[in-house]
């Protein structure tokens, strides 16, 4: 979602969706670009952003402001009644500030609670919730929270009420056996196979948190979990096939 040139294309695909849906986005590349412009250094540990007070302002601006509202405006233009929100809105996602040990990530939140009732009101009113990856602690503090984790937590919380398909869209064709070969997509991945590949060092390190989130959701009440290139979404909606499908 943080490549402006692809945003329109990505959004257009959503027109094919005929059911209720939720969109969750981050925007790390644009946040890093804005940080650089302002002269604030970006610090990452294990792919996670160290979020001091200034960086929290930046991700709140970029995720909840710029990217979120651009997506919403584009969705309205294709007739999807989007509402751009973050976890603080309607008290939808409450998180706890992560402990300072072993690593002080700053204003980063781990999800504590999803307000399924309020979320259901939005969905059942025909709205399309578009979540930026910002949550709050319920005491007035915004917190930066991983978008993949939010998607997984939302899917789990809604699994009791709806038949949920969870799609992770990113810039690879799926889970790859060889990260340099976009054709090496693993079409079906079980948790057993995942653990074997991971132990053998055959899963690209950047994929591990995403897959851990994906399997966490899949082990719950989620009908289907799919990991695919963002531009395959429409193909997936129409055919039911794209990228990597998690299997039991």
- Exactly one of 5, 18, 38, 201 binds a copy of itself (CB under 8 A); that residue is 38
Q: Residues 26, 63: contact at Cβ < 8 Å?
A: yes
What own/partner pairs with CB < 8 Å and gap ≥ 24 does 117-121 have? 118/90, 118/91, 118/92, 119/22, 119/90, 119/92, 119/154, 119/157, 119/158, 120/158, 120/161
CA atoms of 34 and 42, how far apart (whole Å): 10
- Exactly one of 45, 73, 177, 196 binds a copy of itself (CB under 8 A); that residue is 73
Given the complex with a copy of itself, which of 86 and 186 has the nearer CB atom?
86
In 3D space, the residue among 133, 149, 153 whose CA is nearest the CA of residue 63 turns out to be 133
Query: Which one of 86-94, 159-167, 191-199, 211-219 is the stretch in contact with a copy of itself (CB under 8 A)?
Result: 86-94
Query: Which one of 13-21, 57-65, 95-103, 206-214 is the stretch in contact with a copy of itself (CB under 8 A)?
Result: 57-65
Residue 49 makes contact with a copy of itself by CB under 8 A: no
In 3D space, the residue among 70, 153, 53 whose CA is nearest the CA of residue 113 turns out to be 153
Helix (H, G, I), strand (E, B) or coil at 20: coil
Residue 187 makes contact with a copy of itself by CB under 8 A: no
Residue 140 makes contact with a copy of itself by CB under 8 A: yes
Residues in contact with a copy of itself by CB under 8 A are 8, 34, 37-39, 57, 60-66, 68-70, 72-74, 76-77, 81-86, 88-91, 121, 125, 127, 134, 136, 138-142
């Amino acid at each position: 979602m943080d490549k402006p040139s692809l945003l329109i294309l990505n959004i257009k695909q959503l027109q094919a969706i005929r059911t209720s849906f939720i969109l969750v986005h981050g925007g790390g590349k644009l946040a890093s670009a804005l940080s650089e412009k302002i002269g604030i250094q970006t610090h990452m540990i294990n792919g996670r952003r160290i979020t001091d007070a200034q960086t929290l302002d930046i991700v709140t601006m970029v995720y909840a402001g710029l990217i979120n509202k651009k997506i919403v405006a584009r969705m309205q233009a294709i007739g999807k009644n989007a509402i751009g929100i973050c976890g603080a809105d309607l008290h939808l996602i409450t998180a706890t500030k992560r402990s300072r040990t072993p690593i002080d990530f700053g204003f980063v939140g781990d999800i504590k609670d999803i307000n399924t009732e309020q979320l259901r009101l939005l969905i059942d009113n025909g709205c399309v919730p578009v979540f930026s990856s910002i949550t709050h602690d319920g005491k007035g503090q915004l917190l930066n929270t991983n978008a993949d984790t939010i998607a997984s937590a939302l899917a789990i919380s809604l699994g009791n009420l709806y038949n949920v398909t969870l799609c992770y869209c990113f810039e690879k064709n799926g889970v790859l056996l060889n990260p340099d070969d976009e054709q090496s997509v693993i079409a079906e991945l079980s948790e057993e196979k995942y653990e074997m590949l991971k132990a053998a060092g055959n899963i690209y390190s950047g994929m591990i948190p995403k897959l851990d989130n994906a399997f966490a959701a899949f082990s719950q009440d989620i009908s289907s979990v799919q990991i695919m290139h963002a531009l395959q979404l429409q193909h997936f909606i129409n055919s039911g096939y794209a990228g990597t499908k998690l299997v039991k």
